[in-house]
Amino acid sequence: MLIAAVAMFDSRAAFSPSAGTSPGDVGARWYPFLAAAIMGIASVIVAYRALATPPGSEAAFEGRQSVFAVLKIAIPMLVYALLIGGIGWKTTDFTYVVVPPFGFYLATALYMGLFAWWLGRYKIWWVAAIAFAFPLVIFVAFEIGFRVTLPKSFLYDAGILPF
């Protein structure tokens, strides 16, 4: 709820009179505010259900299998976040690049493909379709629809991919 409140406060520019670009248009500035509002409402519902539902008889993390289930989600998510911007560091003399930036779209293709294959156990053609379709839909929605630029990959810089 706190993250949603901070995001809603941060996107308060949506209430500016110039938020829309034409009469009746809410403009792209409303997206972060509405996404944060939905996240806040969902967190209130989850908190209510957690408080209203009696606790189960077993603990949340009982045994290795439950911890491994969380790690199967958390570790790929951490790698995904690192791949978006690349992994490396800059010193005064040199720049060390361990992994080049994969950008949002290429990292999303790998992340979605991994999850479809590993956790979803989808057939390989579905994995390929998911890994191709999700970044493409996100690209069309954000770059073309909302005109919001997301981080690009090293393949974009080389002129190989449009993202």
Per-residue pLDDT tens for 77-114?
999 999 998 888 777 777 777 888 999 999 999 999 99
Residues 71 and 139 in one domain: yes
Cα distance between residue 163 and residue 149, in whole Å:
10
Bridge partners (DSSP) of residue 96 are 89
Cα distance between residue 31 and residue 54, in whole Å:
36
Cα distance between residue 162 and residue 146, in whole Å:
17
Residues 67 and 145 in one domain: yes
Residues 9 and 45 in one domain: yes
Q: What pLDDT, on the 0 to 100 scale, is given for residue 55?
A: 79
pLDDT, average across residues 22-41: 78
The number of folded domains in the chain is 2
Residues 118 and 41 in one domain: no
pLDDT, average across residues 106-125: 94
Which amino acid is residue 62, in one-letter code?
A: E
Supply the range of the domain harboring residue 149. Answer: 61-163
Cα distance between residue 106 and residue 154, in whole Å:
10
Cα distance between residue 79 and residue 102, in whole Å:
11
Residues 33 and 76 in one domain: no
Residues 76 and 108 in one domain: yes
Phi and psi at 88, nearest 5°, equal 175, -175
Residues 116 and 68 in one domain: yes
Residues 68 and 16 in one domain: no
Q: What is the model's pTM? A: 0.66
